[in-house]
Amino acid sequence: MTAPVLELRSISKEYYGNRVLKGVSLAVRPGTVHALVGENGAGKSTLMNLLFGMPVIRDTGGYQGEVVLDGRTVRFAAPEDAMAAGIGMVHQEFMLIPGFAVAENIKLNREPTRPNPLSRVAGRKLETIDRQRVGADARAALDRVGLSVEEWTLVAGLPVGHMQFVEIAREVDKQNLRLLIFDEPTAVLTEGEATQLLDVMKSLTSQGLGILFITHRLDEVLAVADDITVLRDGEVVAQLDPKTTTVVRIAELMVGRPAAVHVAGAADDRSSAPLVLEVEHLAVDMPGEEIQDVSLSLRKGEILGLAGLAGHGKIGIANGIMGLYPARGTLRKDGRPLPLNDPRAAIRAGLAFVSEDRRGVGILPDESIELNIALTAIEAQGRFLHPAPLEALRLLDGRAVRGHALEMIRALDIRCKGPAQHVRRLSGGNQQKVCLARAITLEPDTLLVSEPTRGIDVGAKERVIDILRGLNRDRGMTLLVTSSELAELRAICDRIAIVYRGRIAAVLPSDDSDARFGLAMAGEKLDG
C-alpha cells in the first residue's frame, strides 16, 4: 500500500473550553477521493481551517495531534504555508476577483513573467507579465477541469457553476499540488454541473492527486469516494468502504443513535385538538436554507419536530413563518389569516421565536440580561413601561424589568453574576436560556425554537430540553422545534417532519426506526 498523501493523527481542538474535535485520525491515499461526511457542527470546517493553517486556529490556542503531509509532520502558521506545501482548497464561497479575466484569476500572483530593463535594475517584482503564457496555462488548466469557457472572459458575468470550476482550475494549475480539498463544492451547482464535477474529481485523482471531499450529499459520496470517514460531534464514528455500505447506513451514522433511544411516550391522541398554526404552500427565500413548498399544521399542545440535513431548508420554515426572510404562501393562526413577512404581526398573534442564529439574531450582546429578556415584550407589546398620559412618554419601568429578570434567572437557572451582566459574557448555554426567557416573556401560545442546543455543553443541553418539555406540559404551549440533532427531537417530539430539498419528505412518529429516518433525510422514497 502506498504511503498516504495526508495523514491526520489524533487531532484535537477546543474553542473556549468547548471541544470541537476529539482525536480525529484519517489518511488520504494518493490517487483517491476521501470523503468526509458529517452534519453541520460535526467539526468539518474546524478540521479544514486547521489543515489550511487559518489564523483562527492559532489565535484560539492551536491544536493537539499531528498533521503529516507526504511523510513530514507539518504545522502551518498561515494559509500561504499550506499552499506552498502543496495543499489546494476549493472554497464554499468563491475567492475570485470579479473584475479580472478567468485566466488572470487562475494565474493570480503566480504569473509567468519576462525580465525587462526596469526589472533588471529594480528586481523581479517588476518583470513584465507574459500574457500569452498566462492564457496558455489557464487554457490547459480549464481543459483539465472540462470547462470550455473562453479564458479571457471576465469572471464577473459567469454563472455560479462556472466560477466553481474556475476555482478548481486555479488550484489544479499549481505545479506542486499534492492534495486538493473540496469544501461542499456541489452546494451551489445544478445537478448536471455536480455530475460534471464528480467526473473532474475522478480524472484528477487518476493523475495522482489526493482529494479530500467534504459534503453532506450522500449519493455523491457513494458515486465518487474511495474511502469514507464519518464525523459526528468532533469524533470519527466510522470509516467505511463505499463498496460495502449504503446511503442509509451513512445517514444513520451521521445522525447518530443515542446511547439509549429515549423516545417520548406514546403521543397523546391530539387529532381532536384545535389547529393552532396552519402553513400552506410556504416558500421561503432564505439563502442556503431555501424552502420550496411546505404545508404543515400544528394542533394545540403538540410538539412537532423539523429535521433534515443542513442546506435542505429545515431552518427556513420557522424563519419564514416569523417573517424574518421573504416568504410566500398562506399562514393561519387559530383559523385567522396571518400576514407573511411581518414579524410584529406574528408576535402579536401569539407566536414567539428562538432563532438558530443565537449570536446574530438572538441576543443584544452588549446589553444587560434583564433588557435582553424584556426587550421584545417592551417593543411589540408595550409592557414593562410606566403609565403616562401619552404613549410616547411612557418610561421604562426598571423595577418591573429587574423583577421579571430575577424570576426568569431562577426559573431557567441562568448562571450569571446578576441581571445587569452583559449577555456577551455568558456561556452559550446561558445565552440560549436568555433567548428562551425572552420568548417566554412574550407569553406566546406557540413557540418556534430552532437549534435549541447547538453549541452548548451537555449539562445545559439537558436543561434546555427540560425547559421546553416543561413549557409544553405545564403551560400547554405548542412547540415547533427545528434541530440538526435527530436524537434530541425524538426525545421530545410527538411527530417529526423531515425536510429534503425544500419540501417535506415525510412526517414520521418519533419512535419510527433509525433506518426510515435516515432514508427520509437522504431523500429516498419511503414505502408505506
Q: Which is nearer to other proteins, 383 or 501 (CB)?
A: 383
Cα radius of gyration rounded to whole Å, the chain = 26
- Cβ nearer to other proteins, comparing 362 with 452: 362
At its nearest, how many Å lie between other proteins and the CB of residue 397? 9
How many whole angstroms separate alpha carbon 443 and alpha carbon 232? 36
Please, what is the minimum distance in Å from the beta carbon of residue 365 to other proteins?
7
Identity of the amino acid at 298: L
- Nearest distance in Å: CB 326, other proteins: 12
Cβ-based neighbour number of residue 315 at 10 Å: 29
Give whichever of 143 and 342 is closer to other proteins, judged by the CB atom.
342
Distance CA(257)–CA(264), nearest Å, equals: 15
Residue number with CB closer to other proteins (47 or 318): 318
Give, to the nearest 10 degrees, the angle between helix 428-441 and helix 369-381: 30
Cell of 39: 452534519
Shortest distance, CB of residue 8 to other proteins, whole angstroms?
A: 25
Q: What is residue 236's three-state secondary structure?
A: strand
Owner of C-alpha cell 423595577: 399
Q: Which of 294, 247, 307, 299 is nearest to 273 (CA)?
A: 299
What is the nearest approach in angstroms of other proteins to the Cβ of residue 422? 10
**Other Cβ atoms within 10 Å of 280 Cβ, number:** 13
Burial class (CB in 10 A: 0-12, 13-18, 19+), 123: exposed
Q: What angle do CA 250, 69, 48 make, to 5 degrees?
A: 50
Q: Cβ closer to other proteins: 215 or 368?
A: 368
Length of the chain: 528
Determine the Cα–Cα distance for residues 351 and 378; give it in Å rounded to an integer: 16
Minimum distance of other proteins from residue 393's CB (angstroms): 7
C-alpha cell at 509: 412518529
Distance in Å, CB of 375 to other proteins, minimum: 6
Residues that bind other proteins (CB under 8 A): 17, 322, 324, 342-347, 353, 355, 357, 360-367, 371, 375-376, 378-380, 382, 385, 391-396
Nearer to other proteins, 375 or 507 (CB): 375
Q: Are 369 and 416 in contact (CB under 8 A)?
A: yes
At its nearest, how many Å lie between other proteins and the CB of residue 353?
7
322/498 with CB nearer other proteins: 322
CB of 344 to other proteins, least distance (A): 3
* Grid cell for residue 97: 476577483
> For residues 293 and 379, which CB has a smaller minimum distance to other proteins in the complex?
379
CB closer to other proteins out of 160 and 388: 388
Are residues 112 and 137 in contact, defined by beta-carbon separation less than 8 angstroms? yes
Helix (H, G, I), strand (E, B) or coil at 57: helix
